[in-house]
Amino acid sequence: MENNARPYQCHDCHRAFARKHDLQRHSRVHTGLKPYSCAGCKKAFARTDALKRHLR
């Protein structure tokens, strides 16, 4: 794949992404940020899909 197909690169691990949003989501791997939490048990998640899976 050409480099310009993935113009957004992580400064920590140099992984490249096609969309800026994907890079922002990936950056939580390095920062440990978990902005989504369960109202019932207060467990925190880095991604909304993980929270939704927890709620099922």
Predicted pLDDT of residue 22: 96
Put simply, whether the predicted model's pTM sits higher than 0.95 gets the answer no
Strand partners, 16: 9
Rg (CA), the chain: 14
Predicted pLDDT of residue 6: 96
Q: For the chain, what are the domain ranges?
A: 3-55
DSSP string, 20-51: HHHHHHHHHHHH----EE-TTT--EESSHHHH
Predicted pLDDT of residue 37: 98
Predicted pLDDT of residue 4: 75
Predicted pLDDT of residue 2: 58
Predicted pLDDT of residue 9: 98
3-55 topology per CATH? Double Stranded RNA Binding Domain (3.30.160)
- The two beta strands, 36-37 and 44-45, are antiparallel
Q: Are 44 and 54 in contact (CB under 8 A)?
A: no
CA atoms of 50 and 27, how far apart (whole Å): 16
Task: Give the chain's residues under pLDDT 70.
Answer: 1-3
